[in-house]
Amino acid sequence: MSTVTTTPHELEAVFSDGGDPTVADVEQLLTALEEGTVRAASRDEQGRWTAHGWVKRGILTAFRLSETVEIDWPGGSVDKSLVPARRITASDGIRLVPGGTSLRRGTHLAPGVVVMPPSYVNVGGYVGAGSMIDSHVLVGSCAQVGSGVHLSTAVQLGGVLEPVGARPVVVEDGVFVGAQCGLYEGVVVRRGAVLAPGVTLTAGSTIYDLVQQREVRGEVPENAVVVPGSRPARGDYADVLGLSLYAPVIVKYRDASTDAATALEESLR
């Protein structure tokens, strides 16, 4: 049997390979995730983001040790017993507007976060201080969102639990994500970037940088402004039909005029 754990280091030992976690260990891990003392991924001094497999293993353990039960929630709910929806109070320091939003157990929302309905933040998700989650937004399992981020209407941040070593979607500080953008498969959006409405990116997407005349993959550079674009498809058949392929394009890097265009967020607070 596992002993009572109190620190992230002790939790890591419990949920690493060969550990024997209990329900009490799972509860402590989920609480640590909510408090932000444990995260599913972290950034090192060189800017590299690394997933913490033991945290994901702990979340998977929560599902394994849970029973499927009826949960007292407006409208009714049937879910895994250890990861129900969180109940938020004024002491959490966030603004949660009523209307169908659900924040699952094991999510961290820092003080100053605003959540418009309906939205969903899944287990392991992290949202930094002062960020805005607009309506119809999904923050998937273990997705990492920095401080001062704006996730506009219908933004989708994909989640990942398996494989445990897979990097989650990361949106760093000060990013503006336009309406109906989709970020998946561990793509990283660096600080201060702006994504125009409708941009879709994965870790394998090629982004065409018109400013620096280069191609980048797996991440959006710091302060880059990305818009949906297209490029001609290759081959005679494509030429005859005039077909083109989706191609996200960096058209500029953020400056004072771009900041003014995103200032509306402050008035919404």
Q: Residue 115 is part of a domain; what is its CATH number?
A: 2.160.10.10
Task: Tell me whether residue 49 is in a domain.
Answer: no
Task: Tell me whether residue 17 is in a domain.
Answer: no
Phi and psi torsions of 50, nearest 5°: -125, 130
Task: Tell me whether residue 22 is in a domain.
Answer: no
- If one counts the domains in the chain, the total is 1
Question: How does pLDDT run along the chain (269 residues), one tens digit per residue?
Answer: 344 567 898 999 999 877 789 999 999 999 999 999 999 999 999 999 999 999 999 999 999 999 999 988 777 889 999 999 998 999 999 999 999 899 999 999 999 999 999 999 999 999 999 999 999 999 999 999 999 999 999 999 999 999 999 999 999 999 999 999 999 999 999 999 999 999 999 999 999 999 999 999 999 999 999 999 999 999 999 999 999 999 999 999 998 776 756 654 454 45
Strands 114-115 and 95-96: parallel
Task: Tell me whether residue 206 is in a domain.
Answer: yes
pLDDT score at 183: 98
Where do the DSSP E strands lie in 44-97?
A: 49-51, 68-71, 77-80, 95-96
- Parent domain of 88: 81-254
- The DSSP symbol for 134 reads -
